[in-house]
Chains A and B, each alone.
Chain A
């Protein structure tokens, strides 16, 4: 018996669709082949396990009796889903919080980069510092320009410091 034929007969055998004569012939076939006998035995046990929770029609009828379509329809209109009242496990709370913080950080960085990009296109030279006394202001501006020439790469803050430091 080839594998294909064996599988077909095995399915019929396990499902109880062989008559007595066919079943006896199939059992004889199994007796002659250890591997096939083992497979058939294991699948028979699996089929039995599947039937462990199968109720009789009467029992199922009795258990399903309290259900009413009216209640189901009501539940469908106004009722919450069955799982809605179950508490959400802690790790999901934590995951949500982490995601929320991550989103805030990403948005903040994004906004910062965008603002910087806009400013770089329209950036103007730093304004000339204004000091209260006109003479001091003139001296400061002259000093600032000297420092700017001496240190062209320096920032306005560094130039201001250098001017104030008397350089």
Chain B
């Protein structure tokens, strides 16, 4: 087993889990996704010269694995989030509805919009950092972020009264 992959696994498995859980909202799915991501790394170890490159690679592969999984589930007509007694505490029906909406919204984004959204929302990177990592202009990163939020807004049918912003 390559030692580099083992090192990346130890350093980043929690991060990959966090991304996967944020997108899927289910512990078992998130664990499967982490395994799939590192399995891909084991099968074809990439050239990752530094931590930023490793995180970028992992983020990209995680997003792809999640999207592939969603597509496979859709084509198989699998009931993804049926209520079951085994479901861990804290995963309410409401949160699953939210996850379904988010999933639909994220599924409509382009890959770059999705990655910008992940970097911004899950990793709290600045637009400057995102632009640097993805090799795009800062305004482009902001546009991707706003488009991603708009997609989520449309999917969640958010139509709030124009109150005072916090």
Q: How far is the CA of A63 from the CA of B93 in the complex (A)?
A: 21
Q: Is A37 an interface residue (CB 8 A)?
A: yes
Q: Could you pull out 12 A-B pairs where Cβ atoms are within 8 angstroms?
A: A8-B139, A34-B162, A38-B160, A50-B102, A50-B121, A50-B152, A53-B25, A54-B18, A60-B14, A64-B14, A73-B42, A83-B78
Say which size band chain B's interface belongs to.
35 or more
B88 to chain A, nearest CB (A): 10
Are the C-beta atoms of A49 and B21 separated by less than 8 Å?
Answer: no
Of B17, B120, B126, B163, the residue contacting A60 (CB under 8 A) is B17
Q: Is A30 an interface residue (CB 8 A)?
A: yes
Are the C-beta atoms of A7 and B117 separated by less than 8 Å?
Answer: no
Q: Is A40 an interface residue (CB 8 A)?
A: yes
A residues neighboring B (CB under 8 Å): 7-8, 10-12, 14-15, 17, 27, 30-31, 34, 37-38, 40-47, 49-55, 57, 60-61, 63-64, 67, 69-73, 75-76, 82-83, 86, 88-89, 91-92
Q: How far is the CA of A47 from the CA of B146 in the complex (A)?
A: 10
Closest to B141 in A: A11
Of A31, A61, A72, the residue contacting B35 (CB under 8 A) is A72
Are the C-beta atoms of B98 and A52 separated by less than 8 Å?
Answer: yes
Q: Is B15 an interface residue (CB 8 A)?
A: yes
B residues neighboring A (CB under 8 Å): 1, 5-6, 9, 13-18, 21-23, 25, 27, 30-32, 34-36, 38-39, 42-43, 72, 76-78, 95, 98-99, 101-102, 117, 120-122, 126-127, 139, 142-143, 145-146, 149-150, 152-153, 156, 158-166
Q: How far is the CA of A156 from the CA of B18 in the complex (A)?
A: 82
A91 / chain B contacts, CB cutoff of 8 Å: 77
Are the C-beta atoms of A37 and B14 separated by less than 8 Å?
Answer: no
Given A63-B30, A64-B34, are A11 and B14 neighbors across the interface (CB < 8 Å)? no
